[in-house]
Amino acid sequence: MTEFDTEVYYDDDADVSTVQDETVAVLGYGSQGHAHAQNLDDSGVDVVVGLRKSSASRQEAETDGLEVATPANAAAAADRVVMLVPDTVQPAVYEDIREGMDAGDTLQFAHGFNIHYGQIEPPEDVDVTMVAPKSPGHLVRRTYKRGEGVPGLLAVYQDATGEAHAEGLAYAKAIGCTRAGVIETSFQEETETDLFGEQAVLCGGVTEMVKAGFETLVDAGYAPEMAYFECLNELKLIVDLMYEGGHMGMWNSVSDTAEYGGLTRGEEVIDREGMQEILEGVQSGEFAREWINENQAHRPAYRQYRGAEQSHQIEQVGDRLRELFAWDEQAEEEVPADD
């Protein structure tokens, strides 16, 4: 046991030979797919990548030395099928591969959305697990090659064989997550906390706060360039400090003036009732139903919101400034979307 309330597992808790005895079908070769497949291959696991015949990623996977087959053929040949295509296409892909799954096989995910909200209903005679690195795929691969790893999550939804937990840990070790630590969770907890975090804080909350701050300064007559630097560009510096040392690590690094101002004024911009409403929408399935219906209607609202975001003044200002200044950060490697 660790000193945390939740169990955390490391290399010594996992036996990688469990997954080395399997054939693993990795469906998708995008951000997560390429990293899982290559790390598994380097760990001595028999991997076949499942991609549509028309997928632009087929040649890339083959160039990387991996066997490639259609999703249906990959699943039929595998003992473990890992769903790493986007949430929105997983139900259709599952319909293509379900006949190829045998009793005792494992159906594995990196996000619990489709299982938790009933979009995929697996047979009772297969294990259903989740191994979810808490990192973009390129870091999963990069840290693995350095002999390190990124933290991950492990969940068991259905244990038909009695070995699902051990097999999930073996997979986590094969992709490098147990080097950093793997936290045990559930499909429900992972899905609901992930959606809430994305909507209220990491993606929705942060971008709206940045835009609101930018607009407040510009509307008050300050230069858009100054507003951009203060409300967007410097955000990375603050987040890096928080990542490295938590809130106190950040407060200890900024000026006393910044600390006092933040501690006394920050709460004024937070709508806790709104956050609670977002969480309730996730817990009730309201958001999931809305997103499913949006995709079935070919994403009209999604395109409208995305267009408005792209045309916002902060994007135009940022484009100009990023061209003018030599940023210190190295460009991240580009990885295609999951296929």
B/e letters for 198-232, b = 16+ CB within 10 Å, e = fewer, are ebbeeeebeeeebbebbbebbeeeeebeebbeebb
Instruction: Report whether 122 contacts 158 (CB < 8 A).
Output: yes
Catalytic residue among 111, 165, 247, 312: 111
Which 3 state secondary structure label does DSSP give 259? helix
Residue 107: closest CA among 88, 92, 89, 94: 94
CA–CA distance from 72 to each of 104, 112, 123, 220 (Å)?
17, 21, 16, 58
Is 111 tagged catalytic? yes
Give the pair of three-digit tokens for residue 63: 């160039």
In whole angstroms, what is the distance from residue 278 CA to residue 50 CA?
35
For the chain, how many residues are written?
339
- SS3 string, 92-142, reads HHHHHHHHHCCCCCEEEECCCHHHHCCCCCCCCCCEEEEEEECCCHHHHHH
Residues linked to residue 50 through DSSP beta bridges, in sequence order: 27, 69
Query: Tell me, what DSSP letter sits at residue 69?
Result: E
Q: Does residue 118 come out as left (phi exceeding 0), alpha (psi in the -120 to 50 range) or beta?
A: left
C-alpha 119 chain-centroid distance:
19
Query: 189: how many CB neighbours lie within 10 A of its CB?
Result: 15
Active centre residues (catalytic): 111
